[in-house]
Amino acid sequence: MNKVLIYMLRFVKSRQQGRQERRRRQEERHRFFQELYAMGKCPLNYNEKLKSQNELDSSLDLWSRVDVQTCTKWGAPIMWEGTFDPGDFDRHHIQKRTSVALTVFAIGRYLEVYLKEFLKSAEQYFMVELPVTYYIFTDIPEFVPKVKLMKQRHMKVIQVKNQKRWQDISMLRMKTIADFIESHIQHWHQYIFCFDVDQVFVGRFGSEALGETVGLLHAFYYRSHVKDYTYDRNPESAAYMVTGDFYYHAAIFGGTWQGVKNITEFCHQGIMKDKEKNIEALWHDESHLNKYFWLHKPSKVLSPEYCWSTIIGFRFDIRVHRLLWATKFYDILRT
Which residues are known binding-site members for UDP-N-acetyl-alpha-D-galactosamine? Answer: 105-107, 110, 196-198
> Beta strands 199-201 and 132-138: pairing type?
unpaired
Write out the binding residues.
Answer: 105-107, 110, 196-198, 218, 230, 286
User: Sign of the C-alpha dihedral, residues 12, 17, 20, 22?
Assistant: negative
Task: Report helix, strand or coil for 88.
Answer: helix
Determine the Cα–Cα distance for residues 281 and 15; give it in Å rounded to an integer.
30
Write out the binding residues for Mn(2+).
Answer: 196, 198
> What string of DSSP letters covers 14-56?
HHHHHHHHHHHHHHHHHHHHHHTSPPP---SPTTPPP--SSHH
- Closest by CA to 54, choosing from 101, 102, 99, 88, is 88
User: Sign of the C-alpha dihedral, residues 227, 231, 237, 238?
Assistant: negative
Q: Which residue among 212, 280, 286, 305 is the active-site one?
A: 286
β-partners of residue 328 are none
Determine the Cα–Cα distance for residues 312 and 304; give it in Å rounded to an integer.
11
Task: Report helix, strand or coil for 119.
Answer: helix
Based on the residue annotation, tell me whether 265 is a catalytic residue of this protein.
no
The amino acid at residue 28 is: E
Catalytic residue numbers read 286
